[in-house]
Amino acid sequence: MQIKQKTPLTFRHLFAKIILFCLCILIIDSCTKDTIVNNSKKAEEYQADFLIKYYDHICKTIKNTAGFFPPQAARAYGYIGIASYESVMHGIEGATSLQGQLNGFALFKLPQPIGEQKYNWAIASNAATARMIHYMFEKKITSADSKKTDSLETVFHEQLSNGEDQDVITRSQIFGQNIADVVYNYSKTDGGHESYLDPFQLPYSVPSDPYCWVPTGAVTTPLSPRWGNNRPFLISNIQKAQPPKHMQFSTDPNSEFYKEAMEVYVTVTNNNSEQIEIAKYWADDPFATCTPAGHTFNILTQILKEERATLSKSSLAFAKMCIAENDAFISCWKGKYDYVLIRPVSYIQKYIDPTFKTVIGTPPFPAYTSGHSCEMGAGSRILSALFTNGSGDYQFTDYSQLQYGFFARSYSNFEKMAEECANSRLYGGIHYPIDNSKGLQVGRAIGDNVNKEIKWPSFTK
Amino acid sequence: MMRYISLTFLVLLNACSNEPDIDAIAMEFSDIECRAITLKDKRFDLSEKLRAVEKDSIIKKYEIDSLNDVINVVKAESLAMADSIKARMEFLFEHHLRRQSDRIVFLEKLKEIITKRKCHGS
């Protein structure tokens, strides 16, 4: 009878134990990667420089393209942001598609990454963003801006493809383009499709009651009167974020309405130089800027640059802001045409002082509520959620207006910044105080809805 | 050990010698910013004139047309100027004013210089 040798047995046993241990580690590791597409680098491993440069380009394109007033600009940003986010979402841990979360989006089937195939999310984002810019400005984009979009896409594509396999490059690019196609089809059904071709939505008859808006300049019909009927990204942004009815119209000097108008009159008459500067700074001045929404995006891009935010964080930030800004303008415009309230300049010149002059031009649409206040109220909530613990405390200097001949302005809190923006409309003489306070309230509610009602990744580097 | 200390010293020395000359940068930048301020004032003035003329739009249609011609010129100039300033600012921030603290000092100096130069107005 042969006696079994002990040594080889122990070695085999030990080897089997090591293999078993490695298998366990592999299984545990694979279980922790839930939503991320395997084999692909995470979105947080890419820089966002290219995406940020696209937002600078969008601002320029808005300035150069006819028909892009504030609501139209906010809408363009809206859908571009969604396409960019969807194109990288599978590379963000814990991220959920917006498809089942945004109003009406579920009807449009987004492409999904193929099985275990590898993707480069930056290439996908580049392709999606460039294509969406073409789509959103399609019929009026200048030749120069169209070429610039193409050249940016080509340059970024080459940079981002460096060292990547050809099949990954092609797959990622097609994936991004397909995302843009679906988001564009979704955009066509919201009521604002190609609205830049007819931003005044004629014909429209303004009611002739004494409380109603009357022209304040050469433009005799108000801007985008049916914008409030557009489909918002979140229904709650219309249902739960509408201002209450403003105070009763009256010409009685003891009435609340008259007092509101008097406050405008007294403020404008006694404005100091700082208040005039603030009025002009936030006016996003005549003829040369990319609208108030563009100013908010300029602030966001500046902060993302300073924070050296990754593709993951930047895509998330833009998506949130894009949804909030689009809905802020829909909600605000709904209120404007539900109430069609007369502008302070018209009221004051008729009932208080015919020689009254505002600091800046009054835009051609009703007063209640202030568009600036709505959009910056929403924007401030998004900024606060992105960069603070919710307090809004954040030290920064907005130098985005330097290019238009303004000194940079410093802030220590996003909410305070929004209040300054809202007050600027009073200093400018173009809004009653209630337009600004209720506008901020509406905007903040919208920002909160976007932060809370959509399932965003809980932590994004 | 001494080699590492010397190297660290050299690196620090080099970093010190690369400190941006913020005064000079702000002075140089103030030229284009001054032109941007003048253009901004022009835009607001034109907007004001347009509002005044629009009140009599039927009688003065030719005035609105000629004013719009001027506005288009100033707008084109303003947009070109905005591009130049943005590009210059990005270059400075990327190459010379990388630190946030330097940018703040630069913006303060710029304001100081512009205020002294009184380049407001049109």
Predicted confidence at residue A286, as pLDDT, reads 57
Residue A192 lies in a domain: no
In the listed set A155, A187, A219, which residue is the last one of a domain according to the structure? A187
A407–B103 CB contact, under 8 Å:
no
CA distance A289 to chain B (A): 8
> Quick one: pLDDT at residue A120?
98
- C-alpha A364/C-alpha A430 separation (Å) is 11
pTM, two decimals, is 0.89
The CATH number of whichever domain residue A109 belongs to comes to 1.20.144.10
What is the total count of domains within chain A? Answer: 2
Mean pLDDT of A368-384: 98
CA dist., res. A389 & res. A459, Å (int): 12
List the single residue in A64, A217, A404 with the smallest CB-CB distance to B36: A404
**Domain of residue A298, CATH code:** 1.10.606.20
Residues A285 and A434 in one domain: yes
Q: Do the chains contact at A218 and B83, CB–CB below 8 Å?
A: no
Whether A241 is in a domain gets the answer yes
Domain annotation covers residue A85 = yes
Of the listed ranges A5-14, A56-65, A137-146, A187-196, the least confidently predicted one is: A5-14
pLDDT in tens, B11-62: 455 555 568 899 999 999 999 999 999 999 999 999 888 888 777 655 567 7
User: What is the domain range of residue A173?
Assistant: 43-187
pLDDT at res. B50: 85
Which phi and psi angles does A329 have, rounded to 5°?
-70, -35
Minimal-distance CA residue of chain A relative to B87:
A403
d(CA B114, CA A50): 33
> Is there a single domain that holds both residue A212 and residue A173?
no
Among A287, A399, A405, the residue with its CB nearest the CB of B36 is A405
Domain boundaries, chain B: 20-117
**How many angstroms separate the CA of residue A364 from the nearest CA in chain B?**
12
Interface of B with A (CB under 8 A): 33, 36-41, 43-44, 46-48, 50-51, 54, 57, 64, 71, 74-75, 78-79, 81-83, 85-86, 89, 100, 103-104, 107, 110-111, 114
Q: Is A47 on the interface with B (CB under 8 A)?
A: no
What is the pLDDT at residue A227? 98
* Average pLDDT across chain B, whole number: 84
Q: What is the mean pLDDT of chain A?
A: 93
Tell me the shortest Cα–Cα distance from B62 to chain A, in angstroms: 14
Are the C-beta atoms of A438 and A400 separated by less than 8 Å?
A: no
Which of A152, A187, A222 is the endpoint of a domain? A187
**Tokens of residue A315, six digits:** 């895509």
Map residue A212 onto helix, strand or coil: strand
Residue A441 lies in a domain: yes
Nearest C-alpha in A relative to B86? A403
* pLDDT for the residue numbered B21: 93
Q: Would the pLDDT of B105 be above 50?
A: yes
Interface test with A, best of B30, B43, B63, B103 (most A CBs within 10 A): B43
A238 and A287 together in one domain: yes
Q: Return the structure tokens found at A298.
A: 């300029």
A294 touches A59 (CB < 8 A): yes
Nearest Cα of chain A lies from the Cα of B78 at a distance, in angstroms, of 7
Question: Does the residue A95 lie in any domain?
Answer: yes
Nearest CA in chain A to B34: A405
**Which residue, among A362, A404, A411, A427, would best test binding to B if mutated, counting the most B CBs under 10 Å from its CB?**
A404
Whether the pLDDT of residue A23 is over 90: the answer is no
Sign of torsion, CA B87 B91 B92 B93?
positive
Please judge whether B85 and A402 are an interchain contact, meaning their C-beta atoms are less than 8 angstroms apart: yes
User: Residues 137-176, chain A: which have Cβ within 8 Å of B?
Assistant: none
pLDDT band at A15 (very low <50, low <70, confident <90, very high): low
Residue A312 contacts residue A88 (beta carbons within 8 Å): yes
Residue A144 lies in a domain: yes
Say yes or no: A172 and A296 in one domain: no
Are A178 and A249 members of one domain? no
Helices (H), A108-255: 121-137, 143-161, 166-187, 236-239
Say how far apart CA A204 and CA A222 lie, in whole Å. Answer: 8
Domain identity same for A216 and A320: yes
pLDDT mean over A25-46: 64
Co-location of A318 and A261 in the same domain: yes
Task: Identify whether residues A324 and A381 lie together within a single domain.
Answer: yes
Cis bond upstream, residue A291 (ω within 30): no
H-state helical runs in A65-161: 70-88, 121-137, 143-161
Q: In the listed set A162, A187, A212, which residue is the last one of a domain according to the structure?
A: A187
What proportion of chain A, given as a percentage, has pLDDT over 90?
Answer: 88
Residue A36 lies in a domain: no
Name the residue in chain B with its Cα closest to that of A303: B100
The answer to whether residue A197 is domain-embedded is no
Q: What is the CA radius of gyration of chain B?
A: 23
pLDDT digits (tens, 9 = 90+) for A305-316: 999 999 999 999
- CA separation for the pair A368, A365 (Å, rounded): 9
Residue pair A216/B57 in contact by the 8 Å Cβ criterion: no
Mean pLDDT of A432-453: 98
Residues A363, A265 share a domain: yes
Question: Are the Cβ atoms of B81 and A306 closer than 8 angstroms?
Answer: no
Type of residue found at A41 = K
Angstrom distances, CA of residue A112 to CA of A115, A252, A365: 9, 63, 43
For residues A393-414, give the mean pLDDT.
96
